Structures are given as structure tokens and as C-alpha cells.
Structure 1
Amino acid sequence: MKCSKGLLMLWKNQVSIIKTLYVNFRTLNFGDAIRLPIVVSRHVKLKNLKKGSIVLEQKPKTFMIQFGFGGSEDLFYYNSKKSLLMIRNGGQIVFTGSKARFSPHFSILVDSSIFEVGEGFTCNNGCSFSSLNGIKFGNDCLVGGNVIIRDSDGHRVFCDGKLNHSIRSAKVEIGKHVWICNNCSILKGVVIGNNNIVSYNTTCIKSILDENCLIGGHVGVVLRHNMSWER
């Protein structure tokens, strides 16, 4: 029965056996890789993995980390089918839990930093994560479609012809049990407290440490307290 379910997943979700083997044995130690804890869709483009690594802090289980599966059908057909996984310059993706899933059309760039993902993480289609300083998710985080999380400006900024020496990059931290709805952007240095909801189309440019809140607006402010949510 387990074998049949495994074969069904390979057929239905278009698993790339070659990419799955490559990611496991390139980024993990042999003892973990042999269990194939990471499964990769054939639509995922892999880049620079020789210069980065993936760390599992829990006992490896087959297909516990999924790249390029699940998501909402409406978002899947709206976007291009390609995804990108890039780890370079000693960067690491650290999975502290036993289960995580990135839905199709994702983009992950980890450069000289740590991208930490907690237990039960899921993101919908079209999400983009750019970690040059560090991005951290607590346990049980749910990320909607087309969400952008960046910890860096990406380019130097000038004012009146002079270089702006403000911080170009700062770590982003998302607390436990946070739901980030569709089309949100979370920018450098932002910290989001536990048990919060970031409402549709919000741009967060400042930290919100309050908990059990609804966050919204173009600059990300607390709209309501005493909020809760469940999957």
C-alpha cells in the first residue's frame, strides 16, 4: 500500500527523480540523504547548490520537505510553471521541524545567510524569498500566494547624488502561528509577533511585536487586537 501511494505521488505531482536525488545527496550528509527527506518537482530550477547546504534538525523522513507541490489551482494556472531554488556563498536552509512545503512557482534565494523554516510551514503559489542577511519562520506559519519577503534593498540607494548609508539589509523574523495572506510584502528588518494575521495586500516596513493581531495597510499597522485563526 505504501509503495502504491508513493508511485501515485510520483505520477500525479510530477516528481523529478533526478532532481530529488541531486538535492538530497548534494545538500545533506549521506546518512540523511539516503532517506530522501526532500522531494523536488520537475518544474524547479536548481542553481548554485554546490556552494550551499540544507540542514534538518529533526529525524529525516521520506518526502518531509517538498519543493514545488500543492497550492491553489487558481494561482497555479495564473503563474509560470517554473520555480527557483538557489543557495550560494555558504548559505543554508535550516528546517527545524519535520514537515514543510513550498507550492509551485516559488523563488528562494539564500546568499551567505540562513533561511530558517519552522514546523508545519506551508506557502501557496508564487512566493518569493530573498535572504541575504537572514529570514526566520516560527512553527505553524501559513503563507498565502504571491507573497514577497526580502531582507535587503538589493541595490545601493542615493539621495541628492550621495550614497544613502542607511542599513541595506536586516534580518526578517516571523513568529509562531502567523498567517500571511495573499499579495503581501515583508521587507528588511521586520519582525512579526506570534499568532498574528497579515491581511491581504499588506506591505510591512516596520516591526509589529504585538500578538493576536490583525495587521494591514500599505505600511503594516495593527488594525485589531484579540484575533485568532486556524487552518
Structure 2
Amino acid sequence: MILYSVLQDIKIKILIYLNKLHTLFLSHNKGVVIGEGSVVYYKSRIDCYSQSYNNNGGILIGKNCRIGCRNIRYHCGMPFYTSFLADGVGSKISVGDNCRVNGAYIHAEKSISIGNNCVIASGVNIVDSNGHVVNSSNRTSGRDVPHEIVIGNNVWICMNATILKGSVIGDNSIISAGSVIQGVIPPNSIASTTGELSIKEIRM
């Protein structure tokens, strides 16, 4: 047990070093801005087409965020890696301050905005486009029209939830595990689609 504990501590220290190195490397990518105190964990992917973060696109991660795929002493056994993709010229992903994103996939063809103090759990998909055209005789051709996603402050999106294009999630809301959301969720709500859609008020 003692040897195992020592080896685990060594492994964690190595991963901390790799995380810092990975964050430093990503911060030099054109189109990616990583705020002070934020860490992007090793093996996470941050990809964008823009050459600088501005109104024409890019990826912005605010201050004191943890973006990653950690499965040691947190979400043990989690199989997912975090991936951010701003897919195309003008596409944008912005994450506010003090957010935790662990094992989620965020893909913007237009714009995905996430507020401050948000928690996004493993297996979550946030995608602002259907990808393929719905009414098409050939599924391999054509591109869907994207619609921006806006996620407010202090939002918790639980494991394996999916947020689809055009969604707006109000401040202080919770999206239940496994839910599929497309539409407007009012502030201070718990939303679930596991069964019938259920939206309940959170009494603060």
C-alpha cells in the first residue's frame, strides 16, 4: 500500500508538470487565449482555424479554469478526453472564469459562449450545428446552418448531456445527466429529458 501510494504521488506530480507544459504550448497557438491561472490538462485538444482571437473567431478560456480529462482522484475511470474545436473561419468558443470542463466535447461552427463558474462533466457534447443537412438525398454532402449556443453563469451540465444548436441555458441552471437540450432553459432551473421533458425551478 505504501509503495502504491508513493507511485501514485509520483504519477500525479508528472501529470501536473505535463499539464503545465501542455498549457504553455497551447497558449502560443494563434487564435487561442488562455487566462491567468488556467490549466489545460495533458491530452486535451484545443483546435481552431482563426489566426487570432477576436470578433472573427478563436478560442478564449478565462481565468482560473480547469480544462481536461483527469481521471485520478476525480471521475475515476472516465474514458473521455476534452476537445474544443472552433471549426471554420469566424467560429468562436468562449469560456468564462472559474470553470471546470472535464471530458467534454465542444464543437462550434458559429459561436458557443459559456459563462463564469460553470461545471461541465464528462461525456457532455455541446455542438452548435447538426453537421449534415437534414433534408438531403445525400448525407455526405452539404453543411447544416449553425446557430449559436449561450450558456449562462453558474451552470452545471451533468454527465453525458447533449446541448444542441440554438440552445440558451439561463444562469444558475442544472442540466440533468443524459439529457438532450435544444431550446431555452430559464434561469434557476433543473432541466431533464430522461423520460418526458421536465423543467423545475431551483429555490435559492
Task: Place the TM-score, normalised by the shorter chain, in its bin.
Answer: 0.7 to 0.9
Q: Counterparts of 2:50 and 2:195 in 1: how far apart (Å)?
A: 32
Q: Counterparts of 1:87 and 1:218 in 2: how far apart (Å)?
A: 33
SS of residue matched to 1:13: helix
1:65 CA drift (Å): 1.9
Amino acid in the other structure paired with 2:44? S
Identical columns (%): 27
Tell me which of 176, 184, 191 is aligned to 1:207: 184
Change (3 A) 1:14 1:223: same
Tell me which of 66, 69, 72 is aligned to 1:101: 66
**Would you say the 8 A contact 1:214–1:227 is kept in 2?**
no
1:155 CA drift (Å): 1.7
SS of residue matched to 2:184: coil
Q: Does 1:223 align with 2:189?
A: no
Tell me which of 44, 63, 84 is aligned to 1:83: 44
> Which residue of structure 2 aligns with residue 115 of structure 1?
93
**Would you say the 8 A contact 1:9–1:15 is kept in 2?**
no
Superposition map of 1:116-155 within 5 A: 116-124=94-102, 126-155=103-132
Aligned length: 175
> Which one is further off, 98-107 or 180-189?
98-107
Q: Counterparts of 1:220 and 1:167 in 2: how far apart (Å)?
A: 27
Change (3 A) 1:158 1:212: same
1:179 CA drift (Å): 0.6
Q: TM-score, normalised by structure 2?
A: 0.73
Q: Counterparts of 1:94 and 1:171 in 2: how far apart (Å)?
A: 16
Amino acid in the other structure paired with 1:119? D
**Would you say the 8 A contact 1:215–1:221 is kept in 2?**
yes
SS of residue matched to 1:15: helix
Amino acid in the other structure paired with 2:46? L
RMSD: 3.0
SS of residue matched to 1:23: helix
1:19 CA drift (Å): 4.2
